[in-house]
Amino acid sequence: MPIKIQSQLPAKEILENENIFVMDELRAISQDIRPLQICILNLMPIKQDTELQLLRGLSNTPLQIDVTFMKIDSHVSLNTDSSHLNKFYDNFENLKQQKFDGLIITGAPIEHLPFEEVDYWAELCEIMEWSKRNVTSTFHICWGAQAALYYHYGIGKKSLPEKLFGVYEHTIINRKIPLVRGFDDVFMIPHSRHTASDEEAIHKNGRLKVLAKSKEAGIFLCEADEGKQIFVFGHPEYDRLTLHNEYVRDIGKGLAIKMPLNYYPDNDMAKKPHLQWRSHSINFYSNWVNYYVYQQTPYEL
C-alpha cells in the first residue's frame, strides 16, 4: 500500500530504504481514487520514533492512505523539536471540522498519574468524544486504550507490582472476528507498562468483546461497537530495539528494572533481540485498515 505523507517527513527516507512504498503529495494527486484519511494523535515523547513504527504498520495493504498527524495543544513536548511539530503536525482545533476514516491514539509514558491529573486530559476527552461522530474506527494503544476505556466506559486502571516488560505469548479468544483473521493460535507481542485496566470490568461490560489475551500479560485486545473502537494493550508496532532502548534508558536513570522477558537470546543483552512479532503486527494493522476502515467507511466522508 502506498502511504501518502509529506515529502520532507524524516520517516519517508527510512521507509523507502526498507522497500516500503511511500507516496508524496505530487504523485498522489495524479491518482483518481479517494485515499483513506487516517489521523494519528501522537502522544509519545519522541514523535519521530512512533511515526516510523506506525507508518510501517500501515504499509501493507493495496489501499492508499493519507496520514495526518495531530498534536495536543495543552501540553508542551520536551523531547521533539518544535520545528518538527510545527511542520508536520496540526492541532485539534484545526482538524475537528474534518472527518476521518480512522484515528490512532497512541500511548504515553504517564501511567503513574490519575487520568484527571494529566495536563491534557480535558483536551483528550474532547478528542475522544469527537471521534464517536467523526471517525469510522478508532484504534487506541496502551495508555491510550486505558484512557479510552476510562472515558467511554468508566473502567479504571491499577498499578502492577512491577513493570510488565518483554515479549509475551498470546492466544486468540474469538477467531471469527475479522481483526484477528489470519493470526496463529499462539503469537508474540511486546508489552511495556506499569498499569493495567480492570479486566473483570472489561469482561462484565456487554459492549466490550475480548479478542486475545495472555496468561502473563492479561488482555491484549478488545473491541466495542463492532470495531468502531479498538483497544490494544500491548505494542505490536514496536521495532526490534524499542524494548532494548527503554531498558538502557531505565538502567541509566537508576530505576529498578528487570531485563525484558523473552527478548534477548540467552538473556544476554549483548545479543541482537529476535524480531518475533512483526508478521502479526503487519497482519493486525492490515486487518484494521481493510475490515474496520475501508470496508465500513462511506465514500463521501
Active-site residues: which are they?
A: 142, 235, 237
User: For cell 466522508, what's the residue?
Assistant: 301
* CB 177 within 8 Å of CB 224: no
* CB 163 within 8 Å of CB 121: no
Taking the C-alpha atoms of residue 3 and residue 59, their distance in angstroms, rounded to an integer, is 6
- The H or E element spanning position 38 is strand 36-41
Q: Is 26 helix (H, G, I), strand (E, B) or coil?
A: helix
Give the DSSP letter of residue 265: G
Torsion of CA 229, 232, 236, 241, to 10 degrees: 130
Question: What is the distance of C-alpha 54 from the center of its chain?
Answer: 7
Q: 127: left (phi > 0), else alpha (psi -120 to 50), else beta?
A: alpha
Q: Is 6 helix (H, G, I), strand (E, B) or coil?
A: coil
Give the other-Cβ count within 10 Å of 246's Cβ.
Answer: 18
Mode of pairing for the β-strands spanning 89-91 and 65-71: parallel
Instruction: Name the residue type at position 220.
Output: F
What's the Cα-to-Cα distance from 99 to each of 8, 12, 72, 112, 214, rounded to whole Å? 25, 25, 18, 33, 35
